[in-house]
Structure formats: structure tokens, C-alpha cells
Chains A and B, each alone.
Chain A
Amino acid sequence: MAKTLFKKVWDAHVVKTLPDGTVLLYIDRHLVHEVTSPQAFEGLRLSKRTVRRPELTFSTLDHNVPTDDPFNIKDPISKAQVEALIKNCRENGVTLFDYATGHQGIVHAIGPEMGITLPGLTVVCGDSHTSTHGAFGGLGFGIGTSEVEHVLATQTLRQTPTKTFKVEFTGRLQPGCTSKDMVMKLIGLIGTAGGTGYVMEYCGEAVRALSMEARMTICNMSIEGGARAGMIAPDDTTFEYIAKGDRPYAPRGEALDKAIAYWRTLPTEDGAEFDRVITINTAEIAPQVTWGTSPGMVTDVTGVVPDPDKVPGYSRRDVEQALEYMDLKPGMKMTDIRPNTIFIGSCTNARIEDLRKVAKLVKGRRKADSVRVMVVPSSQQVRRQAEAEGLDKIMTDFGAEWRHAGCSMCLGMNPDQLKPGERSASTSNRNFEGRQGKGGRTHLVSPEMAAAAAVEGHFVDIRNWDGLKALNA
């Protein structure tokens, strides 16, 4: 029987199928950050267990790290959490990419850029955006702290097989539109729980045409569509990304050739069956902007804030609550919305390619007086690369703040938060109430759309925006 990419990766990691149908699934890479791990390490200690494969476990500090002065964590509780991870890594022989290594960053940024994330692997982390790693053609998914402890102790997880959901993007993106718009459009169509219980496989002409960075953006937001994991079959784009650059954990030379030969066997075979299928014409996708407090509350930038009775998948009450929180009225044009904070960051959209695009769009311009612009690279490596290319100078000349790496205002565990009533255009992944700061209002957009809003002071349809030509220059 023809197999899917998911099934191939799954089958290669089944240690044992237990009598009740549960599978003991082997985990190749366990990524760890400071927020969801301390209770797991503590649990190990209390039960006198040890980390089974410390060499497959990689950790970094990202959620609590201040992005203005990363060495100076003023909040004592944040500091204690960071120190707990440092201590846990030292005691258990786990590699820690802290600030001094030059490789600190958001956990989902450093896995791929260090060559830790590779095709065909199982990757887990106590973080829902672990779905990002599926862009390489492996199985990456988020777990809770109890499961973090389980992986530390056994290098396995107890899993039941998941259903599969094929998402085919036919055609090509319009100029100025991005993979962020593709995934936001998908979530608008299936709802934020439409993928619950499934692993997504993204395929089709539009996906094949995307860079690895853009693919990671799509897989990253699988969880916003309810799916724990999203996968993309590895191809030459994947292999080229792995082969190039400073990726200390990636194979090189003969080992790489051997690995590529294996990776080429992974893609879904013709005729393989999926439990659910959706096909989206990519050429019809307009730039997407969220108007509500759930990622599924999204529309085209050419649209208006919707009538509460006319939002598929949400009740009138859901929409009214969201609009009240967002301080928006039905019928208002999306292009009339004026954010006062532009956040370019997060594991969704702060990789080098994102920063290059933003820099092209804002080069030689000044931000609107009404906005504050924060640019937070996803990792120290991205920050260094951007500085080597002079992007930091372009950003600061534009009037943006050039920050150090971390999760930052995506969730505001560090001091980077919206104040009550502030409104952001954010390249992150969640527009939940209070996510970016209590009372803060979030509009999710692509980095390109965020950059255009930073210039104009309101959302614009980037396809007709005169600044767009700079992107192709």
C-alpha cells in the first residue's frame, strides 16, 4: 500500500506496539527551554531517574530573555527559571545554547539553523510550535511537561496513531503574498480546531516553490489550525538548506550523501490515502489580517471587519466578544485599522529571510510617527547574519528598535509587552486576548504586511502598495 510521509517517519520510530494499541515512539531530538522543563527535571530527580540520551537533548533560553539587555534579567522569578535550566543542563549533561555560546535563540529557530532538525527525524519540545520542524520532512510536535519528563527518562513517547490531513496549495502566490498568508487563509477555512487529531501534510506547486524559511512559517502555524504537527516532503530545497551554512550538527561529505539518498525515499507515494483533503488555489490568496482574538478570525486585507452573524465557525457571541475586546466595529475597512506597535519577531517570522524582506521594504524610509517598531531576530545567529548584511542599520535608520534574540512580544514573558489598549501588527502566531500583554490587541500579518503598516501607519494591500517594487529590486 502506498505510504504517506507521516506513515514512513512514524513506522521508522515504532519501538513497540503495546497490547492496547499504544505505540512506544522513539524520539530523535528533544528540544528543551526554560519554561516547560523545570518540573520535568524535578520529577526525574524525585524518582531518581536520569536523562537517557543527553546527547539527543538540546536546550536554550528564549521565553524569559530580555531583548534589550539579555545578560540582565531584572525579574527575579524569570531569573530563577533561567538559572534552573542552566543547573538542570549541567547536572544532566545536556547541551545548553546560552548567550555565551553565540547560538542562543528561539528553540524553533536554532534547531533548523544548527542542523539539529533534519528530515525523517522525530522532534519534540515542550512547546506547541514544535510543529515548525516538520518543514524538513520529519515529525515535530509539542508536548506537555509530563511528556517532557517521559522523553527525558525513556527517549520515547506513548502515542496513538494520528489521522492525516492533506493540504494542497495549487498555483502560485501573488507578488507581496507569502506563506504566512497561505497558512492564515487555511486556518480561516478550516477553523482553529479543524486540524485537531490530524497531522497535516502541506503539498502542491506553491509549497514546492517556497524556501525553507517560508515552509517553516506554514508548519509553525499548524497548531493554530489545531494540528499538533505539519509536514512538508523533503526535496532539493531542503537538502540545499542543510548542506549550506554553518550547521554544526548537520551531516557533511559522505554522510550527507548517504542521508540525502535516504531522505529522497521519504515523500508520500502516489495513491497514498489521507483521512481528509483540502485544496486551496494559492493564486487567489490575498494578504491576510486577523481582526479578532482567535487565529481563525481572519480576512483579506481588502475586506472589512465582519458582521457577527456571518463568520463561519464562530457564534455571534464569540464574534461580539472578540470585537469588543479588539475595539472594532463591523463594516470597518481592514485598511483603516491603525496599529501603534509593529512587532517583527517570533518563531513564525523572524528568520533571516524575513528580516531581509522587511529591510528591503523599509530601506531609505522613515516609519510613521504613530508607530513603535520592534525587530527581534529569532536567534543570535540570525542577528549576526543580519548585522553582517547591514540590515540592522537599515532598520534603525527607519526608526525601528534592533533587539536581541528571544520570544519577546509574541507572548510577553519578558518585559516586551503591549500596554492595555495598544494595538499591534504582529508577525507572530497568536492573537489571543492578553497574549501580547493584558488588554493588548493583536493583528497577525506577514512580515511584508507589517513593514508596510509601519511605513503607512495603517494596514495596506501590499499588492498595490508603491513600496512593493523594492522587494524585487
Chain B
Amino acid sequence: MEPFSSHRGLVAILDRANVDTDAIIPKQFLKSIKRTGFGESLFFDWRYLPDGEPDPQFVLNFPRYQGASILVARNNFGCGSSREHAVWAVMQYGFRTIIAPRQEIGGAQVPGFADIFRNNSVKNGLLTIELEAPEVDKIFEMVERNSGLEATVDLDEQRLVLHLPEELAFHFEIDPVVKKHLRHGLDDIALSLEHEASITAFEKQHNPQMYRA
């Protein structure tokens, strides 16, 4: 996995809450046994007309968003199925970062990203940034008003900067474990296998088949 330190790129917006993984990558593309080739199918049902041509009404098809690598969306992005294909599709399309807001719903703070999607993102080097809802509203407004707006994401500094004539910066929180993982592009399996002796010792006292007659 490629390490993530900082990234500058064009920002695109997707003004929808609860973007589910069926919308991100529909079922027919999950039949592949490969890890690549999903970028063209990202948001397939929204992105293409029945004849296969790009739908000019869909926001990511707008000329101003071509080449975008930072996506700003609404709350609960990536809900639904555990398909890692969703993260592969987002990254293979060209996104390195997604931003979504925390939100208060029914008196509780609701995270910007669904658990499994966020988890899958970490494994693939996709940075998910969660901000407060008014901050995300502000970004939406700035992107809409400023065609070609770019931003820089600095993971070390935990900062997102919009490159407006007067720069607008946002601080974001990130789990230190996730940060380290992304920063160094770590291979989880290799890391866990360093504890092989502990796993073996655990298996001696814990028999997961103990119930078997």
C-alpha cells in the first residue's frame, strides 16, 4: 500500500447523504475476481445513461470536476454492504481522500462514514476525513462558487486547506492508529505475523473447537 503524507488536488462535491455501497459500485461489477478495473464503474447507475453514455446531469460528469481527487459528500458515506470493491472503485477512479460530516441525528452524534467502509479505506490507503457539519457546508459552498478549486490534505498536520485567494484551513481529528497506518502504508498481515508466537500460545489455551463432540 502506498504511504499517504500529503495530497493536493481538485475538489468535487456529491450532495447526497447515506451514499451506499450499492450506489458506489453495483452488484454486477462484484463478479470480478480481480482487484482492479473498478474505477470505470464507480457510481455506475448515476453516472451513465441507459445507452452507456455519461449522464451530463450527474455531478461528477461536469467538466469542472474532471480529474478531481478529493470528494466531499454528506453524512453516512459508504453505508451498506462490506464490499471492499467500493473502496477500490473510489480509488481507481482517482480519489485519494473523501470528506464527510459528523451529524447530530436523534440527539446522537453520527459519524460521517459507515464503519466497514472506513475500515476498508484504511487498508487501501484512502483517507477519510470527518469534519463538523457546518464546516462541510462551508466547503460545499466554496467549491460551488469557485470552479477549479483545489485543496491540500496534510496528514501529518491533520489539516485540510482550500486554496482560495484567502486560504481556508480546517483541522481534522484522526485515530492515531489509522494515521500511522496510512502514513507508512503498512501491511497489516506482515505486522500481525510478527506476533505469531503469541497467536500460537493463545491457541494452546483457547480451543475454538472445544464444543465439538
Tell me whether A194 and B110 are in contact in the complex, defined as CB-CB below 8 angstroms, given that A20-B177, A36-B83, A413-B28 are known contacts. yes
* Chain A contacts for B195, CB-based, 8 A: 15-16, 18, 24
Tell me whether A432 and B20 are in contact in the complex, defined as CB-CB below 8 angstroms, given that A49-B189, A143-B116 are known contacts. yes
Of the candidates B22, B23, B75, B115, the one having the most CB atoms from chain A within 10 angstroms of its own CB is B115
The docked-state distance in angstroms from the alpha carbon of A296 to that of B79 is 12
- Determine the residue in chain B with the shortest Cβ distance to A313: B105
Asked if A430 and B199 sit within 8 Å, CB to CB, the answer is no
Asked if A193 and B30 sit within 8 Å, CB to CB, the answer is no
| Distance from A414 Cβ to chain B, minimum over Cβ atoms (Å) | 10
A-contacting 9-mer, from B148-156, B160-168, B203-211: B203-211
Asked if B177 and A144 sit within 8 Å, CB to CB, the answer is no
- Determine the residue in chain B with the shortest Cβ distance to A154: B192
- Among B20, B79, B123, B209, the residue within 8 A (CB) of A55 is B209
Q: Is A318 engaged at the interface, CB distance under 8 Å to the other chain?
A: yes
- Determine the residue in chain A with the shortest Cβ distance to B87: A144
| Distance from A12 Cβ to chain B, minimum over Cβ atoms (Å) | 7
- Determine the residue in chain A with the shortest Cβ distance to B23: A433
| Distance from A437 Cβ to chain B, minimum over Cβ atoms (Å) | 9
The docked-state distance in angstroms from the alpha carbon of A385 to that of B193 is 44
Tell me whether A56 and B23 are in contact in the complex, defined as CB-CB below 8 angstroms, given that A64-B31, A228-B115 are known contacts. no
The docked-state distance in angstroms from the alpha carbon of A160 to that of B179 is 14
B-contacting 9-mer, from A121-129, A373-381, A398-406, A464-472: A121-129
Asked if A158 and B87 sit within 8 Å, CB to CB, the answer is no
Interface size on B, residues (CB 8 A): 62
| Distance from B38 Cβ to chain A, minimum over Cβ atoms (Å) | 11
Asked if B199 and A20 sit within 8 Å, CB to CB, the answer is no
Q: Is A388 engaged at the interface, CB distance under 8 Å to the other chain?
A: no
Asked if A15 and B198 sit within 8 Å, CB to CB, the answer is yes
Tell me whether A24 and B16 are in contact in the complex, defined as CB-CB below 8 angstroms, given that A158-B192, A255-B213, A312-B105 are known contacts. no
* Chain A contacts for B175, CB-based, 8 A: 160
| Distance from B92 Cβ to chain A, minimum over Cβ atoms (Å) | 13
Q: Is A175 engaged at the interface, CB distance under 8 Å to the other chain?
A: no
Q: Is B180 engaged at the interface, CB distance under 8 Å to the other chain?
A: yes
- Determine the residue in chain B with the shortest Cβ distance to A312: B106
B-contacting 9-mer, from A75-83, A104-112, A301-309, A448-456: A75-83
Asked if B27 and A411 sit within 8 Å, CB to CB, the answer is yes
- Among B108, B115, B212, the residue within 8 A (CB) of A249 is B212
* Chain B contacts for A196, CB-based, 8 A: 76, 110-111, 113-115
Q: Is A346 engaged at the interface, CB distance under 8 Å to the other chain?
A: no
Tell me whether A150 and B188 are in contact in the complex, defined as CB-CB below 8 angstroms, given that A128-B80, A313-B106, A411-B27 are known contacts. yes
Q: Is A204 engaged at the interface, CB distance under 8 Å to the other chain?
A: no
The docked-state distance in angstroms from the alpha carbon of A235 to that of B90 is 44
| Distance from B20 Cβ to chain A, minimum over Cβ atoms (Å) | 5
Asked if B79 and A193 sit within 8 Å, CB to CB, the answer is yes
Q: Is B82 engaged at the interface, CB distance under 8 Å to the other chain?
A: yes
Asked if A251 and B213 sit within 8 Å, CB to CB, the answer is yes
* Chain A contacts for B196, CB-based, 8 A: 154
A interface, how many residues as a size bin?
35 or more
Asked if B110 and A193 sit within 8 Å, CB to CB, the answer is yes
Q: Is B15 engaged at the interface, CB distance under 8 Å to the other chain?
A: yes
The docked-state distance in angstroms from the alpha carbon of A47 to that of B188 is 13
* Chain A contacts for B193, CB-based, 8 A: 153-154
| Distance from A401 Cβ to chain B, minimum over Cβ atoms (Å) | 21
The docked-state distance in angstroms from the alpha carbon of A75 to that of B27 is 14
Asked if A191 and B110 sit within 8 Å, CB to CB, the answer is yes
Asked if A144 and B33 sit within 8 Å, CB to CB, the answer is no
A184-212: CB near B (< 8 Å → 1, else 0) gives 00000111111011000000000000000
Asked if B22 and A433 sit within 8 Å, CB to CB, the answer is yes
Q: Is B5 engaged at the interface, CB distance under 8 Å to the other chain?
A: no
- Among B33, B45, B110, the residue within 8 A (CB) of A38 is B33
* Chain B contacts for A430, CB-based, 8 A: 20, 22, 80-81
Asked if A294 and B192 sit within 8 Å, CB to CB, the answer is no
- Determine the residue in chain B with the shortest Cβ distance to A254: B213
The docked-state distance in angstroms from the alpha carbon of A397 to that of B76 is 44
- Determine the residue in chain A with the shortest Cβ distance to B75: A193
The docked-state distance in angstroms from the alpha carbon of A56 to that of B210 is 12
* Chain B contacts for A192, CB-based, 8 A: 18, 76, 79
Asked if A156 and B192 sit within 8 Å, CB to CB, the answer is yes
- Determine the residue in chain A with the shortest Cβ distance to B32: A77
Asked if B177 and A146 sit within 8 Å, CB to CB, the answer is no
Asked if A144 and B123 sit within 8 Å, CB to CB, the answer is yes
Q: Is A66 engaged at the interface, CB distance under 8 Å to the other chain?
A: no
- Among A147, A197, A250, A315, the residue within 8 A (CB) of B211 is A250
Q: Is A441 engaged at the interface, CB distance under 8 Å to the other chain?
A: no
- Among B108, B111, B116, B210, the residue within 8 A (CB) of A128 is B116
Q: Is B26 engaged at the interface, CB distance under 8 Å to the other chain?
A: yes
The docked-state distance in angstroms from the alpha carbon of A77 to that of B110 is 38
The docked-state distance in angstroms from the alpha carbon of A75 to that of B198 is 45
A389-419: CB near B (< 8 Å → 1, else 0) gives 0000000000000000000000111000000
Asked if B213 and A143 sit within 8 Å, CB to CB, the answer is no
Q: Is B6 engaged at the interface, CB distance under 8 Å to the other chain?
A: no
Asked if A28 and B106 sit within 8 Å, CB to CB, the answer is no
Asked if A126 and B114 sit within 8 Å, CB to CB, the answer is no
| Distance from B112 Cβ to chain A, minimum over Cβ atoms (Å) | 9
List 6 other contacts, CB 8 Å, given A197-B111, A226-B76. Answer: A39-B34, A49-B189, A143-B119, A150-B188, A192-B76, A193-B105
Q: Which residues of B contact A (CB under 8 A)?
A: 15-18, 20, 22-23, 26-28, 30-35, 45, 75-76, 79-85, 87, 105-106, 108, 110-111, 113-116, 119-120, 123-124, 175-177, 180, 188-189, 191-193, 195-196, 198-199, 202-203, 206, 208-213
- Leading 9 A-B pairs by shortest Cβ distance: A144-B84, A38-B33, A146-B123, A28-B208, A144-B120, A251-B211, A193-B76, A142-B82, A145-B84
Chosen A-B contacts, 5 in total, with CB atoms closer than 8 Å, are A26-B199, A26-B206, A39-B84, A294-B18, A314-B17
